[in-house]
Structure 1
């Protein structure tokens, strides 16, 4: 989980539907949102920090306004640590003041490969992401710019090691932190120069630790080309996020796929395979 061992804080369902909560989330007014959580639950700053992966000092700085929360990773930790329902995630990641699921579920039995569509990547719960890894027996692929969500999740190293023990083909394929176009991505997302490269290096360091534990079943490569999509594959289950210019990844539409031979799933497999073939092995 994202909570460094702390259990998620349980909030009453009605809390998430109040105008105060929705407005705070839609405005990304995290200081006000934390105050609302404290008023509702009586938790201390320390307990709140444990749930969302921040120190007590960081929570205090956020609530005083001296620390601004804009990172999608931190917002995702807040959503996960407070067991935020989908409608509230929609407000946080999409700025919608009208509670809406932001999720469409397709009928896979009717022949569609698409089993779910999310208006924003941030609406996909952490358990949904990890479910792809948990049930992989043949192929476990993580392809994207940094895939930092998996890299920082404390549950993932064990899941990866167990996948390796099952004989899984584990591939991590990330953007080369030295790629010259990374600066354009930072500029498009409104991030300080070097943000993407820093995130990618941090992710690669974590994945290298996993590789050391998993052994030869796990490989890490980096590619140097304009990033177009994130693909997370576990056998015949896939989560796909196209990269949209001028949007951070957490705001990009996302879909879940279940394989049907010769259709969309196989096209993404081919895309990742070709990129993998052209990529170079990562050496720390």
Structure 2
């Protein structure tokens, strides 16, 4: 059975058999067998190819890394755990935003603390103009999940929907920005996700607490790890069911 993930990753990055053969110091026919016969390369070759196509080993070869080893790598993906989101230094947010060149992804209900950065919209526009792919998911103010979250936090049914409407207004200037897409979702938000290339801030949500008082994980993607990829796949799942907002 062909390895379609590997084939697609190479095509997306403009790479052919010769490119991979040269980088891994193997014969092009060996590379062809990795694709057409789904042969699994040696670990050193997997590392090289994953870096070339900017994918994880787990994505390209799901069965290549043993579960115990994936668990070890996943632990190493955790850079730091903050007890509360509000304890994350502002310069970390700014550093991650400034360094992102390929992907910026945001999954929130409202995230109005982001509006504290007066340069955020201007920075995101510039990132989009330079080719960064930006995807923003905001809570749908009409969704019952947002009203329920307000009740759970003890601030009333209308509080979170109102914040989501404010968030939509805040991000509206990005609607015509290149490489930028904004959607609304009505899913239960277990975690807010902020991705900057291969680093991610995951704000967990705790019943009865506002997001700013809940813990936050700082993750860095490692080839062969599962943790970063789990949250990334969760983002994609929400994105697939989200819709264009009615401005």
For the aligned pair, the TM-score class normalised by the smaller chain equals: 0.5 to 0.7
C-alpha separation in 1, matches of 2:145 and 2:237? 20
State the Cα deviation string for residues 117-154 of structure 1 (Å, max 9, x = none). 10111101222122222111110001111121223420
Matched, 1:119 2:83: yes
What is the DSSP-based 3-state SS (H/G/I as helix, E as strand, rest coil) of the residue aligned with 2:131? Answer: coil
State the Cα deviation string for residues 199-249 of structure 1 (Å, max 9, x = none). 11101111111334xx23111001112111110001001000111111111
Structure ID, larger Rg: 2
Number of matched pairs: 174
Matched, 1:239 2:201: yes
C-alpha separation in 1, matches of 2:183 and 2:116? 18
State the Cα deviation string for residues 153-200 of structure 1 (Å, max 9, x = none). 202112202211220110110111111122221111110331101111
CA contact (8 A) 1:172 1:219 kept: yes
CA contact (8 A) 2:201 2:216 kept: yes
C-alpha separation in 1, matches of 2:173 and 2:116? 12
Q: Give the root-mean-square deviation of aligned CA atoms.
A: 1.8
The equivalent of 2:118 in structure 1 is: 154
Matched, 1:133 2:87: no
Task: Give unpaired runs (5+ residues) of structure 1.
Answer: 1-108
Match for 1:268 among 206, 219, 231?
A: 231
Q: CA deviation at 1:110?
A: 11
CA contact (8 A) 2:74 2:227 kept: no
When the two structures are superposed, what TM-score results if normalisation uses the length of structure 1? 0.58
C-alpha separation in 1, matches of 2:98 and 2:130? 11
Higher relative contact order (CA 8 A, sep 6+): 2
